[in-house]
Structure 1
Amino acid sequence: MALVAVFSVLLVQMEIPEEAVIEAMIQARNKKMFFILDPAPAGGITGRALQYADLIVPNKQETKQLTGIEVTDRDSAHQAAEYFDQIGIKNSIIKMGEKGSLVYENGKTEYIEGIRVKAIDTVGAGDTFAGALGFALAGGANLVDSVRFANVVSALKVTKQGAQAGVPTLDEVRDFCEERGISHYLSKTIKA
């Protein structure tokens, strides 16, 4: 846990034993780190894990499993975000795949449109999104800009084969943004 002391953001999933995750969460909370919970797999999430999250980033299937709400549009995504707020998680990003993401931050919402691409391999897109989100937040970007960045990175990832091999570099992200005419609003806020 010594590394926990040098970072500002902790991102975890429930793919390792719960006790290890809970201990990391406790250490992060004690060090005033921002804690992101990517509830994958959703079946591994417990009330103990939820109580430490500053931000939860479920996809549609994970949202349904955790809230009972089927996310089909912005309204249902907003209902799910309000559910998380009611149980104590004040910030959430409801990922809706190619339909974009709903950002819920302390009672305020903003919808971030998806980026249309020809998907070749979607395996790892959620992990890529979460990693890019954590990278942007740790680099000093606000939550909405961090989600915009994560949308770009995950959109670019699905255009390539391989869960890990398909994850783009920061230079590839910049080139993709230039080719698409997407403002690279993070170049001034993220210190890579």
Structure 2
Amino acid sequence: MWCCFCFISRADFSKEPAFSWMNTLSEEVKRAIKRSRILFCNGYDFDELSSHMIISAVEYTVEVGTSVFFDPGPRGKSLLSGTVEEQKALEHFLRMSDVLLLTSDEAESLTGLVDPILAAQELLRKGNRTKWVVVKMGPKGSILITKSGITCASAFKVKIMDTVGCGDSFVAAIAYGFIHNIPLVTTLAFANAVGAATAMGCGAGRNVATLKQVVELMETPDLNEDDKFWNELLREHLDSQEVTFLSKMVLNGSNGRMKHVTLQKVVSELLPKLKSSQLEGTLSS
């Protein structure tokens, strides 16, 4: 079974953003931002809104205490060489976001650093408010870098049907962990599971993974553990920061500055929280 999608907007046929006529935030939009815990934006917002509007939205979000999540996506590279206004808006996002989410290639294009951990640390250094930088490593897994440590989680092995919606699903899980102060390694494992479960289906929207599917995946996991890849990536960083690593079989504990946490421990701590949220109506089943 194959799924094929084509997304086309007005921006594909014009250099102007689709809603270039919008120049101020409406009171309705301001109320929505103020009521929200997180404002999530990605690079494609530049195809819809002017750079001025985007900066206005970020500034108002910061003013009212709502957190900013930003995923530059493939547009990040083109924005770096875009108009002066686009470059200014991109720089504003990178400085004012609480959480940045990007692939290893996108991190390299924004910083010039091949090592995704060094790239993330550079983004943290330049950010005024940045607390987390999450780097998506494709089939290898993902990394969450803070100023105090590095957290790594291998990806789940699944049969991929369609990757549409996986990135947004991953972000939603990261946001859940951020809002609820869930441990970083647990948040990362949950996000990997949500993204993987979504890839097992077809299409986005209402077709993204359900909580039931995510739980089933985490309870009977098959992690894509590539020890050689992770050892090479982390070797240069073990002396400078503590590293927390999600493992399937390794006993909980530390080895030097490497702290191993088993997936079983993560699942046992996370599932009660998820089921409680489901009962409260804050998660979809």
Q: TM-score, normalised by structure 1?
A: 0.84
- Distance, in Å, in 1 between the alignment partners of 2:163 and 2:268 is 23
Greater Rg over alpha carbons, structure: 2
- The aligned residue for residue 269 of structure 2 is 185
- The aligned residue for residue 168 of structure 1 is 209
Q: 1:140 to 1:90 in 2, by over 3 A?
A: closer
Matches within 5 A, 1:13-162: 13-16=42-45, 17=49, 18-40=51-73, 41-42=75-76, 43-44=78-79, 46-70=90-114, 76-88=115-127, 89-162=130-203
The letter for the 1-side match of 2:55 is I
Residue 14 (structure 1) shift: 2.4
8 A contact 2:107–2:119 mirrored in 1: yes
- Distance, in Å, in 1 between the alignment partners of 2:270 and 2:193 is 11
* Residues 89-140 of structure 1 deviation map (CA, whole Å, 9 limit, x = unaligned): 3420111011111111123111111111122212332222112211332344
| Greater shift in the superposed pair: 103-112 or 23-32 | 23-32
SS in 1 for 2:117: helix
Count how many residue pairs are aligned between Structure 1 and Structure 2. 187
**Percent of aligned positions that are identical:** 25
The letter for the 2-side match of 1:136 is G
The CA RMSD over aligned residues, in Å, is: 2.2
8 A contact 1:55–1:90 mirrored in 2: yes
Structure 1 residue ranges, 4+ long, deviating more than 6 angstroms after superposition? none
Q: 1:140 to 1:109 in 2, by over 3 A?
A: closer
The letter for the 2-side match of 1:21 is I
Gaps of 5+ in 1: 71-75
| Greater shift in the superposed pair: 90-99 or 39-48 | 39-48
* Residues 132-172 of structure 1 deviation map (CA, whole Å, 9 limit, x = unaligned): 21133234424432222111000111111213354112222
8 A contact 2:37–2:179 mirrored in 1: yes
The letter for the 1-side match of 2:269 is Y
Gaps of 5+ in 2: 1-29, 81-89, 222-262
